[in-house]
Amino acid sequence: MQNRRLHRKPDDVVKAKQDRFLSLFAPPTGVALKFPAASTIVAQGEPVQSVFRVVSGYVRLCIYTEEGHRRIVSFHGAGSVVGMSQLSSPDWKVSVEAVTSCVLDAVPKSVIEDRMDSERDVREGALITLHSDVEMREAHLVMMAILPATERLHAFLECFAKMRGSDGLVALPMCRRDIGDYLGLSMETVSRSFSALRESERIETCGAEKFRLTEGRPFETNLDHCHAA
């Protein structure tokens, strides 16, 4: 879900800047914190004190509306940086919640800001992360508007499998409702879409939370009913 097909700069150059930036999350500037599954790491509205990087486990970024609706903006696994887009804001616009039990490295906001001032590579690394955030949300937006439920789920699973990097069986850490809130679908529709993908043999499943993508199929996307031309 992160860093999907970002920068096409020479990867090693980008990586060096990123590394410098990411090193801030290690000691001595960073501190590892552990959170149990389903706990709230930071709540929407809290003052922004730290930026995080996921070490292990999965977190979700949620937005709660006044009416009580929950929208999941993104999921983040090991390696993802969370909170950079909150830097110029006094308080969190999103909640960060632990999907599974997880460990995060936390760095004080002030440290990030200071290093961005003094180190060029940190600055560029941070910009790349921010840029990635914008792009991720744009891709999400496009998907939400254009793809029907089953294709949305398929895109999500593809994306998640890619992020995991494993070609084999992938375990989904989040429940159907989470996926629904991420894709803008009801829990039931997500479940039905799973069944549809399984029946059309585009995925294989092993229990409710493990799946494997059946690859290589030319797969005619049924987009006939989508508007715009």
Alpha-carbon distance of 170 to 58, in angstroms, equals 14
CB of 73 to a copy of itself, least distance (A): 6
The Cα–Cα gap between 202 and 43 comes to 37
- The single residue among 15, 177, 192, 212 that binds a copy of itself, judged by CB under 8 A, is 177
DSSP state of 199: H
Q: Which of 2, 80, 86, 193 binds a copy of itself (CB under 8 A)?
A: 86
* Helix residue ranges, H only, the chain: 11-22, 109-118, 120-146, 149-164, 176-183, 187-199
Q: Which stretch binds a copy of itself (CB under 8 A): 28-36, 156-164, 176-184, 211-219?
A: 176-184
Residue 118 makes contact with a copy of itself by CB under 8 A: no
Residue 128 interacting with a copy of itself (CB under 8 A): yes
DSSP type of residue 216: S
What backbone torsions phi and psi does residue 109 show, to the nearest 5 degrees? -50, -40
Nearest residue (CB) to DNA, 79 versus 148: 148
Please say which residue, 34 or 71, places its beta carbon nearer to a copy of itself.
71
Q: 13: helix, coil or strand?
A: helix
Phi, psi of 204 (to 5 degrees): -115, 145
For residue 144, how many other CB atoms are within 10 A of its CB? 13
Q: Which of 11, 91, 209, 215 binds a copy of itself (CB under 8 A)?
A: 91
Show Cβ contacts of residue 110 under 8 Å, excluding neighbours closer than 6 positions. Answer: none
Of 170 and 182, CB closest to a copy of itself:
182
Residue 221 binds to a copy of itself (criterion: CB under 8 A): yes
10-49 footprint of a copy of itself as x/- string (CB under 8 A): ----------------------------------------
Enumerate residues 139-158 that contact a copy of itself by CB under 8 A.
140-142, 144-146
SS3 of residue 99 by DSSP: coil
Find out whether 33 and 103 touch, Cβ atoms under 8 Å: yes
Q: Give CA–CA dist 29/27, Å, rounded.
A: 5
Residue 191 binds: one of a copy of itself, DNA, none (C-beta under 5 to 8 A by kind): DNA
Does position 83 interact with a copy of itself (CB under 8 A)? The reply is no
At closest approach, how far in Å is the CB of 219 from a copy of itself?
Answer: 13
Residues that bind DNA (CB under 7 A): 148-150, 175-177, 184-192, 194-195, 205, 208-209, 222, 224-227
